[in-house]
Structure 1
């Protein structure tokens, strides 16, 4: 049992080391492909945040710099996750005229991952990304402190990475440091689709079928008793090689199938997130439209009320004007001479019997009309019949 457990642990370690080696090789290979596609794209247009080649390259570089990155041990013994910016900030602090301090003091970038993404963009615009990575890798003590064994930056692939990034200095980049690409809440996802080539043609299919037929025929022939002997031993190597080739093709197809299934799962998750966000936006739009409708109804009601008040003000002004005209028409002494007084009294005596004047006289009995009449009577310019009778030097006619 002990030997069995030891053998299982050894096989498990071998599988882990093999998977880590395959992962490192794949990341470096995909990074080389992404740099090549960036250089090809730059021949026709300027590279910015909207270019899918750059988005993929930034995700690949972030995955490489985050490969087997150690976590930060807190006071309580727990390990909190780290970003590659923590390593770059320390390892590139001695680079002359670096952009580390300016990125550290950016106001619109708060998280560590967002600062690392901003550093990638600024270094590409400065055409110094290879210089920063080379300076960081030379500080082996700091690199060893931040990364575990088996990391890309601790292996031979690191020198290849610095050489690949040197070709990006010939590209003119233009980035906005306030866009959605600096959002540190979303992980970096690599799209392997542009680098997969399914070049299986009819010739390859026929060759595979031929190999399978030969394998089957060889197996059937070997099962017969007359073919047992030296001819089978002579064809054993060719049979083994054919079997190996078929096995390799099968594993390659299986790996591509697994990747495509993972890609479909990722796209389904993104689609579900987009559908939920779309529902929230529709609900927000409905609430906004309802609020606008209520505000419109309130404004219409206020407008109607203001129009009614304006009409009432016009009617009150007209009534006050009529009242002032009636007061002037009922004034008994409008002139100081005798003719004027007799004419005014004659007009008033001629109009006293009309019903309209009686109605107006009723309206003059209000407090305001009474005050106006008393003020007219108290004026020294108006003369009453009693004063004419009692004034010296005048005799009644």
Structure 2
């Protein structure tokens, strides 16, 4: 199952391609030992890879034509940051052939390479990333740490001497396509796992670029159909214009004929005046009438000529408009090519957003659970506090009633004391003692009342705090409902994005299956053509024996379309788990079940054999040797 590359994978791929292009350029330049010109293929490929590196992560800017994305914007900052680059910027702007920012950027790179200051200028840009953030995304190559490595690799280009003539080159309309054949040829033939891995990486990159080119070619084909329709309408208008011109010519011929007829009529009238003087009045009247009719015809023809001229002017204006539309369509084609790159970046960003939404969803779910548990605990505390308050209210009322009763008893005792002082002198002491006891009881009751009041105030404060907490929890619950709705929307968007990703992955998987099947078919056809039906082997002991090939033993060479699972491990084949034929029995296995190699009678060199055939052939060899 193939996945689309992320922003970090793009950076790594671009760095690898830059290393390869610089390596090939320096090696070829040192081996040739001459000054490079603009027609040198490795130098052209270096500029193509350089352009892709500078375009990585560019922000889209909107204009009246549409969305634009050019790497010449950040390069213009070098003139402000480094005064030495002022001559370079003025020479680029003075070139009359360049009409687009892409062409100016390409010319800037070529002139900087000739000056051997390309690495220095880009290092100045990297030191001012706050200015680069206006042009690049945060995950762009020029904004991450790999940008310093990228600039460091460019320092090695100072050993190259280049003489590039920018006059006459069409830098605006060049298409930057990477030619992978140069880098495949450059790989040394050492024969090892590292070489195989490097070739597979480059081939994977090539397949990915070919798929992108196929998608872009489809879009270009659609736009070409539109351009053809516009050209057809232009041809129709041209035909109409030619017909109008022919009509104007015919009207002019008619006008000349009428003028000739007028001259002839005038001559005839003069002759008739000389011959017939008697009938002058009648002939003059007829002549005047005919002259009036001719004048009217002449005026009508003149008006028709004016209208035809006006129609011709309108047709010329429409032609100009159609040519303008054609140029706009060409610009739109270029913009569509840029939009494809932007959509790929957007897909990577959407993948990151999906992961972030999943993490947010889990956090919100945990928060909801914790909020619900806290609400339950708060409700339990509130119920317990309400029970306590209900229990303390009647006790406080009873204490107040007791206080009132004791105060009444005290007043009565004081009155009795006064009466007793008057009546009985000896019983004063006993009554005073009773009063003291009553006073003590009153003070104790006052203390108990104060403590009960304090407890009641504390409980009221706790109740108020709990009410505040309940209000806060209710607001949090309302926020949680809103967050749940947002989560639902995000889940819907996530499902839509997953559908898009699945469709694209299926398309890529089908393309990969077709490619792998075609490669396997080519390999199997080559190997089957080499296979022989019967061969003879001479054993060490001197005996000869005839060993039949796979076809003579009754084993058939299975086709790739007939098998979907490995015969031994029963695992399903995919892009990562490829099909391999056993050269002895002809069945299809995976790589793990057929990674043995033996020299068979029909194959002098060691070839792939399954595990079962490997053990069987080894047993035969050991028995024959014994």
Q: TM-score, normalised by structure 1?
A: 0.50
Q: Which aligned pairs between 1:173-322 and structure 2 lie closer than 5 A?
A: 173-176=165-168, 179=170, 181-182=171-172, 189-195=176-182, 197=184, 253-303=203-253, 305-322=254-271
What is the Cα deviation at residue 28 of structure 1? Answer: 3.6
- Deviation per CA, 1:18-69: give whole Å up to 9, x if none: 5532331223423554687899999899647xx9877654432222223345
Q: Is the 8 A contact 2:21 2:42 kept in 1?
A: no
CA distance in 2, matches of 1:103, 1:156: 27
For residues 65 and 42 of structure 1, do their structure 2 counterparts lie closer, same or farther at Cα, with a shift above 3 Å needed? farther
Which of 279, 292, 295 is equivalent to 1:363?
279
What is the Cα deviation at residue 322 of structure 1? Answer: 0.9
- Deviation per CA, 1:206-245: give whole Å up to 9, x if none: x9xxxxxxxxxxxxxxxxxxxxxxxxxxxxxxxxx98x99
What is the Cα deviation at residue 91 of structure 1? Answer: 2.3
CA distance in 2, matches of 1:42, 1:66: 32
CA distance in 1, matches of 2:223, 2:35: 34
Q: Is the 8 A contact 1:66 1:83 kept in 2?
A: yes
Q: Is the 8 A contact 1:92 1:132 kept in 2?
A: no
Which of 83, 101, 120 is equivalent to 2:109?
120
Q: Which aligned pairs between 1:87-126 and structure 2 lie closer than 5 A?
A: 87-93=74-80, 94-95=83-84, 98-101=87-90, 103=92, 112-120=101-109, 123=112
For residues 258 and 274 of structure 1, do their structure 2 counterparts lie closer, same or farther at Cα, with a shift above 3 Å needed? same
Which of 17, 21, 27 is equivalent to 2:12?
21
What is the Cα deviation at residue 267 of structure 1? Answer: 2.9
1:155 aligns with 2:104: no
* Residue number in structure 2 paired with 1:137: 123
Which of 32, 48, 55 is equivalent to 1:66?
55
For residues 122 and 272 of structure 1, do their structure 2 counterparts lie closer, same or farther at Cα, with a shift above 3 Å needed? farther
CA distance in 1, matches of 2:243, 2:42: 46
* Residue number in structure 2 paired with 1:213: none
Which segments of 5 or more consecutive residues in structure 1 lack a partner in the other structure? 1-11, 73-79, 208-240, 327-359, 370-397
For residues 27 and 269 of structure 1, do their structure 2 counterparts lie closer, same or farther at Cα, with a shift above 3 Å needed? farther
Q: Is the 8 A contact 2:37 2:164 kept in 1?
A: yes
For residues 67 and 245 of structure 1, do their structure 2 counterparts lie closer, same or farther at Cα, with a shift above 3 Å needed? closer
For residues 28 and 70 of structure 1, do their structure 2 counterparts lie closer, same or farther at Cα, with a shift above 3 Å needed? farther
What is the Cα deviation at residue 281 of structure 1? Answer: 1.7
Secondary structure of residue in 2 paired with 1:170: coil
CA distance in 1, matches of 2:60, 2:207: 33
Secondary structure of residue in 1 paired with 2:216: helix
* Residue number in structure 1 paired with 2:403: none
Q: Which aligned pairs between 1:300-379 and structure 2 lie closer than 5 A?
A: 300-303=250-253, 305-323=254-272, 325-326=274-275, 360-365=276-281
CA distance in 1, matches of 2:78, 2:153: 19
Q: Is the 8 A contact 1:95 1:135 kept in 2?
A: no
For residues 138 and 314 of structure 1, do their structure 2 counterparts lie closer, same or farther at Cα, with a shift above 3 Å needed? closer
What is the Cα deviation at residue 365 of structure 1? Answer: 3.7
What is the Cα deviation at residue 288 of structure 1? Answer: 1.0
Q: Is the 8 A contact 2:100 2:172 kept in 1?
A: no
For residues 38 and 87 of structure 1, do their structure 2 counterparts lie closer, same or farther at Cα, with a shift above 3 Å needed? farther
CA distance in 2, matches of 1:325, 1:36: 106
Q: How many residues align?
A: 267
Q: Is the 8 A contact 1:91 1:143 kept in 2?
A: no
CA distance in 1, matches of 2:32, 2:91: 29
What is the Cα deviation at residue 318 of structure 1? Answer: 1.5
CA distance in 2, matches of 1:113, 1:106: 13
Q: TM-score, normalised by structure 2?
A: 0.34
CA distance in 1, matches of 2:13, 2:282: 107
CA distance in 2, matches of 1:43, 1:282: 51
CA distance in 1, matches of 2:72, 2:103: 9
- Deviation per CA, 1:302-332: give whole Å up to 9, x if none: 31x2233123222223124314543xxxxxx
Which segments of 5 or more consecutive residues in structure 2 lack a partner in the other structure? 62-66, 286-626
Secondary structure of residue in 1 paired with 2:117: helix
Q: Is the 8 A contact 1:38 1:53 kept in 2?
A: no
